[in-house]
Amino acid sequence: MTEDITIAPPRTWEELRTEVQRRTDAQVYPMTGARGEDVRIILGRIDSLDDDAWGRSWSAMAREWFERGQALEATDRKAAADAFIMAWRYGSFGAWPSATSPEKRKSLQVGLDAFARYGRLQAQPIERIEVRFEGGVIPILLQLPSIDGPAPVMLSLGGLDSFKEYVAERYGPVYMKHKIGWVGLDAPNTGETKLLPRPGVEKAYSAVIDYLLTRKDVDASRIGLQGVSMGGYWATRFAFAEPKRLKLAVNWAGPLDAAWAPRQIRGALSSKEYLFGLPAALLAQSGWSSLAELVERQQELSIVTMGLVDKPTPQRMLIVNGLKDSLVPASDTMLLLQHGTPKSAWINPEGIHLARSAEWNDERIKQQIIMPWIVDAMAA
């Protein structure tokens, strides 16, 4: 393979610093939950696009918050938990969008250690479980509400750069508010899940259902699935693999077919809609050896190429995205609606990726569109 892949230059360091601070101040992904004053300090210690400099500065702030959590743990569990989740946010963002350098990997580990402390301090502790299957081990996070009888459970898949801990922080409390338990999952070859995204990887996620069915505190008839962005793709693949054991599924802006076409991938690699580092993150997640191979072979993931598009999915399935998404073409959203089992959809005409717009941010979409649909589908 000799094709050269030409992509637009990334943001300069000054441009990136300005954009990270802007997204922090506006509280938009991926900066949700970060504090403006902390981020100014972190960015002030960096003077280039060097990955190790990035990871080193974010992990330093993460350690400060981790130490605060340790100091508070014996006297104020709530304040300690809040400190640990801040340490998770900064540590994980030091590895964003993927842990591709030594200092980024160290930063991620600080974040993971902090999240484990946070999970243990919850009223209903967050369990970390390693589920075994024929191809290895898949780590999951599990939290169940305190209710009489077995609980409904949502399997929730992170995306290319939002791991199961992000799912736990951002979606877990919303599920729990509605008395729905949840399982946080990494998409293949992201976070702690070291499974190449190749045919058959769905078996790992089916093994998670197998595990849940061994638990008396889980309602086997009410297991659902949600995936966001890249996780939306894998949620759809998983929905095709488990149309009967899954009661419902949600694809929130997942790529399916046109998004994997060479021309679209070339455009996405240059998109400024993504904050930074998309080429390296996609390459690391895909397992391909070069951007040229990525562009040529990623279309093998198309649900049309794989012969899945007309296969059955769970009885209830929701598709959410924006018509102006530069990363996932609107035609991918429509594809699922035009094939296979009938589905529901919420499409924002002004929305970019994840259906975000000036009027609709991630939180509003989750709270007002997706969760009411999940609650209704679980009760059906």
Q: What is the pLDDT of residues 202-220, one digit of tens each?
A: 999 999 999 999 999 999 9
Highest mean pLDDT out of 165-169, 190-194, 217-221, 331-335: 217-221
97: preceding bond cis by omega (within 30 degrees): yes
Domain edges within the chain: 12-121, 126-379
Q: Is the pLDDT of residue 275 over 90?
A: yes
Q: For residue 350, what pLDDT is reported?
A: 96
pLDDT band at residue 3 using 50, 70 and 90 as cut-offs? low
pTM: 0.93
Q: Cα-Cα-Cα-Cα dihedral of 34, 35, 39, 40, to 10°?
A: 160
Q: Is the pLDDT of residue 2 over 80?
A: no
Q: What is the mean pLDDT of residues 248-255?
A: 97
Q: What is the pLDDT of residues 103-130, one digit of tens each?
A: 999 999 999 999 999 999 999 999 999 9
Q: Which fold has domain 12-121?
A: de novo design (two linked rop proteins) (1.20.1440)
Q: Which fold has domain 126-379?
A: Rossmann fold (3.40.50)
Q: What is the mean pLDDT of residues 363-367?
A: 95
Q: What is the mean pLDDT of residues 54-62?
A: 98
CA-to-CA dists, residue 210 to 133, 239, 299, angstroms: 10, 15, 30
Angle at 300 between CA 299 and CA 304, to 5 degrees: 85
Q: What is the mean pLDDT of residues 73-85?
A: 97
CA-to-CA dists, residue 146 to 79, 112, 117, 150, 294, angstroms: 22, 25, 20, 10, 45
Q: What is the mean pLDDT of residues 296-306?
A: 94
Q: What is the mean pLDDT of residues 209-236?
A: 97
Q: Is the pLDDT of residue 1 over 70?
A: no
Highest mean pLDDT out of 5-9, 266-270, 352-356: 352-356
Q: What is the pLDDT of residues 28-56, one digit of tens each?
A: 999 999 999 999 999 999 999 999 999 99
Alpha-carbon distance of 117 to 170, in angstroms, equals 17
Residue 130 phi/psi, 5-degree rounding, is -105, 110
